[in-house]
Amino acid sequence: MVRPIVDENNLQSLENIGIEDLRSEFVEQAFNLRTRVLQGMKIKHINNQEMDGSTWIEMAEQYIEAINGRTVPTIENSWTYICRSRA
């Protein structure tokens, strides 16, 4: 994927930048990736629980949240949280 924004100084604060200020190529590539994950990912089974594209995205969000909170993300904790939230 291309860089989301040209200005190097703004790369560190992407959460404060609106989608309209991102490079159009990046936005298009991000939406295409999201569509491929949500619609094209084959269902996997982990401990008798289904993992589809939307579940995979939830796991990625859990990892990002952990990393941004300066903690170490773990597969087991993220998966447990997702399974419990879907029950």
Location of structure tokens 């997702």? 82
pTM listed for this prediction: 0.63
24 and 49, same domain (yes or no):
no
pLDDT in tens, the chain (87 residues): 999 998 888 888 888 899 999 999 999 999 999 898 888 888 888 778 888 888 888 888 888 888 888 888 777 777 777 777 766
- Bridge partners of residue 45, in order along the sequence: 50
46 and 82, same domain (yes or no):
yes
Q: Where are the alpha helices (DSSP H) in the chain?
A: 24-40, 53-68, 75-86
Q: What count of residues does the chain have?
A: 87
Rounded distance, CA 76 to CA 82, Å? 10
77 and 48, same domain (yes or no):
yes
Q: Are 38 and 54 in contact (CB under 8 A)?
A: yes
**Range(s) of the domain holding residue 36:** 1-40
How many domains, in total, are found in the chain?
2
47 and 85, same domain (yes or no):
yes
15 and 54, same domain (yes or no):
no
